[in-house]
């Protein structure tokens, strides 16, 4: 099946965290739809809510006085109770993008991650919600403070507020906080605010004023403190769990890894880069190195020193690693996915519009083909362009849209090596070779850990929802193929000459 160049990710991004009655740290994983429990002494990870649970996109969690686990299911807009006996019950489906959640004894509070969002008290017994605050500029992880107030962030305005849980006006606690994503109190009652940015900033606010440390953990998401006041943090970008010291130093408890990956590319020097939803990451035998936090990166193509990426939410961007600059090449496209470089143009599979488009050096867009079912990826050979059509089960030659191979099972990523085109059949979990001159097919790799297509919504209440699935493939200059194994969070290397 080829060889993995990095180990499979134990967690596909890590989000809300909370200690359970058994002393383990429970972790919500938004992208993979899982909830895991971590034994902090050993680092062992157990999935406690898997694909068979009703929770689809868990973002945060908290435990009630009776040991029940309450979970915010962000994209469908639901809040769930997972009872100690294992049963799930729907608490509410009246919350738009529920994110932050907190329990105070038998009371349950949830906020919304959207502009103009609300902070509500919910009642598992069935009573209607009570609004405690509104006008939130994207709420997120919150907690009841030692003074009895609920503290929560406004992610978009850099502010922290508090509100009385029994009603009353919201009060500003702090402004000018760097990209706040979570507010947490340690065991001594000190307020700490986590930043979602690349530097991994933690802001400490107490009677002595305000101070900050940089952890270097990109995309911090949430934190929990154990009985010894040790701070454990999650990362939506890199996953894993780390223990963070007051001075910002940290140790890994659960290794970080890839959240997808989705697109994969190889430059002329043989450097492999992956588009990993929240970031672009270099993938090599020595591990992962984040190149840039380019949120919603999906397709990726190397072009000399540059990297071009698509966002399913409509953008095509060019990133220059040497300068750290990002240039937007196109906006408003309908779910652009895979892309490739040829003839001085970027060629993009615009899945949602059923067409393939080209973007020239001046960012002028032209249509190469339209009327396709669901184009997913593109590749070129000797001046001829090819596209995979997931819904049609075919690879087509452009501009005529003539079938090169048909009867494929959800073809996604494609790449050309010599006189063969390689396609990831996501529906069959395999990499298939197609003869460009003959149309003959053979299976190159079986049992690939790739996910089949799923109909996730791209937007929820105007905000990005779950990303659509995409398993890319790329050919290196030496003929080695690299496949994005999005079913386990790794990249698979397939040597030339297999």
Phi, then psi, of 352 in degrees rounded to 5:
-70, -20
Per-residue model confidence (pLDDT) at position 2: 85
DSSP state string for 287-328: EEEEEE--TTEEEEEEETTEEEEEETTS-EEEEETTTTEEEE
pLDDT by residue (tens digit) across 182-223? 999 999 999 999 999 999 999 999 988 999 999 999 999 999
Measure Cα distances from 331 to 263, 296, 314, 325 in Å.
Answer: 19, 13, 5, 17
pLDDT by residue (tens digit) across 25-56? 999 999 999 999 999 999 999 999 998 999 99
Per-residue model confidence (pLDDT) at position 137: 97
Tokens 């040597």 label which residue?
Answer: 495
Does 279 have pLDDT greater than 90?
A: yes
pLDDT by residue (tens digit) across 122-138? 999 889 999 999 999 99
pTM of the predicted model, to two decimals?
0.95
Distance from CA of residue 193 to its chain's centroid? 22
Which H helix or E strand runs over 232?
A: strand 231-235
Per-residue model confidence (pLDDT) at position 46: 97
Does 494 have pLDDT greater than 60?
A: yes
Give the whole-angstrom CA distance, residue 268 versus residue 296. Answer: 25
Phi, then psi, of 24 in degrees rounded to 5:
-85, 160
pLDDT by residue (tens digit) across 164-177? 999 899 999 999 99
- CB contact at 8 A, 242 and 218: no
Which H helix or E strand runs over 144?
A: strand 143-144
pLDDT by residue (tens digit) across 299-335? 999 999 999 999 999 999 999 999 999 999 999 999 9
pLDDT by residue (tens digit) across 82-120? 999 999 999 999 999 999 999 998 999 999 999 999 999
pLDDT by residue (tens digit) across 213-266? 999 999 999 999 999 999 999 999 999 999 999 999 999 999 999 999 999 999
Per-residue model confidence (pLDDT) at position 455: 77
- Which residues lie closer than 8 Å to 191 by C-beta, 6 or more apart? 145, 151, 160, 173, 183, 184, 185, 204, 205, 206
Portion of the chain with pLDDT greater than 90, in percent: 94
pLDDT by residue (tens digit) across 352-404? 999 999 999 999 999 999 999 999 999 999 999 999 999 999 999 999 999 99
Per-residue model confidence (pLDDT) at position 70: 98
Give the whole-angstrom CA distance, residue 420 versus residue 69. Answer: 52
- CB contact at 8 A, 113 and 28: no
Does 17 have pLDDT greater than 80?
A: yes
Does 286 have pLDDT greater than 90?
A: no
Give the whole-angstrom CA distance, residue 322 versus residue 329. Answer: 18
Per-residue model confidence (pLDDT) at position 51: 87
Give the whole-angstrom CA distance, residue 260 versus residue 384. Answer: 30
Does 497 have pLDDT greater than 80?
A: no
- CB contact at 8 A, 469 and 430: no
Q: What six digits make up the tokens of 474?
A: 């790329």
What's the pLDDT band for 1 if we cut at 50, 70, 90?
Answer: low
Per-residue model confidence (pLDDT) at position 122: 98
What's the pLDDT band for 498 if we cut at 50, 70, 90?
Answer: low
Fill in the DSSP letter of residue 496: T
């Amino acid at each position: 099946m080829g060889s993995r160049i990095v180990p499979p990710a134990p967690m596909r991004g890590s989000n809300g965290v909370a200690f359970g009655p058994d002393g383990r740290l429970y972790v919500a994983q938004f992208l993979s739809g899982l909830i895991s429990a971590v034994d902090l002494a050993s680092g062992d990870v157990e999935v406690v809510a898997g694909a068979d649970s009703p929770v689809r996109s868990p973002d945060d969690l908290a435990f009630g006085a009776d040991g029940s686990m309450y979970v915010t299911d962000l994209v469908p807009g639901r809040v769930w109770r997972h009872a100690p006996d294992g049963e799930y019950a729907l608490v509410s489906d009246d919350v738009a993008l529920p994110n932050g959640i907190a329990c105070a004894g038998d009371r349950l509070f949830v906020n919304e991650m959207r502009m103009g969002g609300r902070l509500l008290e919910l009642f598992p017994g069935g009573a209607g919600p009570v609004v405690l605050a509104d006008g939130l500029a994207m709420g997120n992880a919150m907690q009841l403070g030692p003074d009895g107030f609920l503290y929560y962030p406004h992610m978009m305005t850099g502010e922290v507020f508090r509100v009385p849980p029994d009603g009353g006006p919201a009060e500003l606690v702090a402004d000018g906080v760097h990209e706040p994503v979570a507010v947490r109190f340690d065991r001594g009652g000190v307020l700490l605010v986590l930043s979602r940015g690349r530097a991994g900033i933690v802001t400490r606010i107490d009677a002595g004023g305000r101070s900050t440390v940089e952890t270097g953990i990109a995309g911090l998401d949430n934190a929990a403190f154990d009985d010894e006041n040790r701070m454990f943090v999650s990362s939506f970008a890199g996953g894993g769990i780390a223990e963070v010291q007051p001075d910002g130093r940290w140790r890994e408890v659960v290794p970080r890894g890839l959240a997808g990956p989705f697109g994969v590319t190889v430059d002329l020097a043989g450097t492999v880069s992956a588009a990993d939803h929240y970031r672009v990451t270099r993938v090599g035998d020595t591990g992962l190195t984040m190149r840039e936090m380019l949120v919603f990166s999906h397709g990726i193509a190397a072009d000399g020193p540059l990297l071009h990426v698509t966002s399913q939410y409509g953008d095509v961007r060019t990133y220059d690693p040497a300068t750290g600059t990002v240039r937007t090449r196109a906006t408003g496209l309908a779910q652009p996915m895979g892309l490739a470089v040829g003839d001085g143009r970027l060629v993009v599979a615009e899945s949602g519009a059923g067409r393939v488009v080209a973007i020239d050096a001046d960012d002028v867009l032209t249509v190469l083909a339209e009327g396709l079912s669901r184009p997913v990826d593109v590749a070129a050979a000797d001046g001829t362009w090819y596209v995979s059509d997931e819904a049609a089960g075919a690879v087509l030659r452009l501009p005529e849209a003539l079938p090169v191979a048909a009867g494929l099972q959800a073809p996604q990523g494609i790449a050309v090596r010599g006189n063969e085109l390689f396609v990831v059949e996501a529906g069959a979990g395999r990499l298939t070779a197609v003869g460009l001159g003959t149309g003959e097919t053979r299976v190159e790799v079986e049992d690939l850990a790739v996910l089949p297509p799923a109909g996730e919504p791209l937007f929820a209440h105007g905000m990005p929802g779950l990303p659509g699935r995409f398993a890319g493939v790329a050919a290196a200059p030496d003929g080695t193929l690299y496949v994005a194994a999005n079913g386990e969070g790794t990249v698979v290397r397939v040597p030339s000459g297999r």
